[in-house]
Structure formats: C-alpha cells, structure tokens
Amino acid sequence: MSDGSVTATPASQELTREEIARIDPSGQLGDVLALPDHLRDALWRAESAIMQDWDTSAGLVVAGMGGSAIGGALARAALGDHASRPIFVTRAYGIPTWTTPDTMVLCASYSGDTEETLACYESAGALGAKRTVVTTGGRLAEMARADGVPVIPLPAGFQPRAAVAYMIVAALEVAALCGAGPRLTSEIDVAASHLEHLVAEWGPDAPEDSLAKVVARGLFGTTPVIAGAGLTNPIAYRWKTQINENAKQPCFSHELPELDHNELAGWEGAHEVGRFSAVFLDDSDAHPRVKQRMDLTEKMIAGNAVASFRLETRGQTAIERVLSLVLLGDLVSIYLATLRGVDPGPVKALDELKAELAKL
Ligand code: F6R
C-alpha cells in the first residue's frame, strides 16, 4: 500500500502532441480540441430532431448524471438572467416533486443506460410531464421511441464527459423550445469560432509557457481546490470532475461567496495535512463584492496553498465565456494526466461500480 506521499517528478517533461499521445491511446485530447466542431454538429442534430414547440410554463428540469448532467448546469449558467422560467438540474433517482404536466423534463444520458436517469424518465412520465431525451441509444432511446418521445441523437464513440458541447447545446435548444430561455443558435455559432482561437492559444502546439500548460504544471502533485462564483460555478465543478476522471486524482470545488463562510477557515491547516492548490474562476460580469472577496480570499490562503491561480473567462457573450473556461479546464485535466503518466480515457472505477450495482 502506498504511504500517501506524492511523487513530484512528472512522468512527462513536455506537453507536446507526441507526449500526450503516448498516454492517450483513445484520443481524449482530440475530443477536447474538437469542441468547436462538436458545438456546430450539436446545433445541427438538435435542430434536425423533429421537435414541436412545447410551451411549458413550469420550466425545465434536466435529469442526468456526471458528464451528461453538466451540460444542463452549464446551459443554465449561459442563459443567466435571460432564463425566463425555472431551469433545474437533478442528479438523482427522481425529479422534483413540483414537476407537473406543465414541466419539460430533458433526460440526458450519453449511454442511455444510466439507472438514475432511467428512473427520472419514468417518474416524469408518471407525472405526465413533457419529455425529451438526448442520448446515443441504450434503454433510454428504446423507451423514448416506444413512447413517442423526441430523441436528440448523439454520435457514438466518445467518453460521455467528452460530449459536453452536445449536452450544453441540447439543453439550450430544449430550453428555447419550451419557453425557458431565448434561442442562442447564432451565439453558439459565434462561440464556436471564438473557441477555435482559444484552442490554438492553449492547445498542445502552443508554447510550454502557454496558460493551460502552466496551470497544469502548477497543479501537478497537489490536490486542487477550484472556486467558482455565479456563471463560473458549474465550470468549477466541471474542472473538478475532469481532473478526477481524466487525471485520476482527487480535486474539489466550491463556490464564492459561500466558501468564505467555511472553507476559508480550513485553509489555515492545509499545509499540515497535504499539498493543496487553489484555482479561482473569475468572470468579467461577476458581482463586484465577489471580485473583492476573490482578491482577499486568494491573499489569505496564499501561505497555505502550494500554488494559486486566478483565471478569467474570455469572450463577450455568456456562452463564449462559459465555454472558454470549460475548454481551459478540459485541457488542464489532459495535461495533468500526461504529467502523471495516466491514460485519461477509461474510468475503470466508475465502470466497476456500475457492474457491481448491476449484480445487486
Ligand atoms: C464518463 C462520465 C460519467 C458519465 C456518468 C453517466 O465519461 O463522464 O460521469 O457521464 O456515469 O453516464 P451517462 O453519461 O452514460 O448517462
């Protein structure tokens, strides 16, 4: 058994395409770099899925787990104040009790076989809610087809978490269809072009001192703690889960201003119990007091964090800004996997747990 000490020597010295390819046989890096193409393809798929306009005055519930649920949370952040009805994300075996026939429930599962999402699909049906499904197939697609529920079809062959652009666009399109938000089609298209520039700036062909590579090196050998606020909240959670699943290491996330009321105190003893680093995800539109809190919090924890980064969203529209830091975090997680010498693709532990549960 390991004594828990950290190997501070990276498995790979350089973060080049060749070095990354060595540990990434399934091409997770390629899927991250293709985010702009995924956005465009997703728009086309969502629009081609025959869907009638369903005005649901009680709003939208997005039901899903892990990499399939995050799209709903990021879509809600991108809509921000433009959401005209409640948008709620549920990651559980059931949907909220306030769901009515006037609620749209989008069941999102890349595989279509996630038991929690299947349970949500069934309870939404029992409550008479309007349903839409986004999936590659599985039991979810079978049930939806049998019930005449619209299906937004996804391309197969990804890790579910790599289909994030598809899940965001599906949630945005369904939000527009059910009257929970404005249609963002052209903004998504512009965001895809914006993202292409960032892919060049932070991708594997960029210099070793480019942002994503510097952040990955700074976080290497530490337990990162990611802080978001408002629009960047679900992005902080995306960073956490991508570092967990791609780099196969612990990582945690929290949100401001709440973390100033608890986690801040925990940083006092951080250096006594481990090597922790901090990442603050800022946004041009954040509340001015939240920005001041970020400044102060970063200063206060400085002596107890091995490394600390303050990173700001890039872009004009909310969807551009959301996607910019999603891309940065996804790249950082692949670079961290490379430094750690681990294959970012398979998530053996998740598969094992699902297999064990299936036996019960
Ligand atoms: C795996 C991943 C997981 C899955 C989750 C739900 O890449 O990201 O978080 O998304 O286990 O499975 P699906 O997405 O198939 O419903």
Return the closest-CA partner of residue 221 out of 16, 20, 5, 1: 5
How far apart, in whole angstroms, are the C-alpha atoms of residue 297 and residue 291? Answer: 10
Q: Which two tokens stand for residue 319?
A: 């969807």
Residue of 90, 110, 357 best suited for mutating to test ligand 1, as the one with most atoms within 8 Å of CB:
110
CA distances from 250 to 243, 288, 344 (A): 7, 31, 14
Instruction: Return all residues near 160 (Cβ < 8 A) that are at least 6 apart.
Output: 66, 67, 68, 109, 110, 111
Hey, what are 352's tokens? 């094992």
Q: Which position has the token pair 């997703």?
A: 42
- Looking from the CA of residue 66, the nearest atom of ligand 1 is 9
- Sequential pLDDT tens for the chain (360 residues): 444 445 568 887 789 999 999 999 999 999 999 999 999 999 999 888 866 778 999 999 999 999 999 999 999 999 999 999 999 999 999 999 999 999 999 999 999 999 999 999 999 999 999 999 999 999 999 999 999 999 999 999 999 999 999 999 999 999 999 999 999 999 999 999 999 999 999 999 999 999 999 999 999 999 999 999 999 999 999 999 999 999 999 999 999 999 999 999 999 999 999 999 999 999 999 999 999 999 999 999 999 999 999 999 999 999 999 999 999 999 999 999 999 999 999 999 999 999 999 999
């992005």: which residue's tokens? Answer: 235
Cα(214) to ligand 1 centroid in Å equals 28
At 115 the pLDDT is 97
Does the active-site annotation cover 261? Answer: yes
Say what the pLDDT of residue 13 is: 78
pLDDT given for residue 3 in this prediction: 44
Distance of CA 265 to the CA centre of its chain: 27
> Is there a catalytic annotation at residue 38?
no
pLDDT value, residue 50 = 65
Q: Which residues line ligand 1 (CB under 6 A)?
A: 65-68, 109-111, 114, 117, 159-161, 245, 347, 350
Contact in structure between 299 and 305 (CB atoms under 8 Å): no
Is 291 one of the catalytic residues?
no
Choosing from 161, 238, 348, 352 the residue with most ligand 1 atoms within 8 A of its CB, the one to mutate for a pocket test is: 161
Neighbours of 203 (CB within 10 A): 18
Ligand 1 centre distance from Cα of residue 110 (Å): 7
Helix (H) or strand (E) holding 15: none
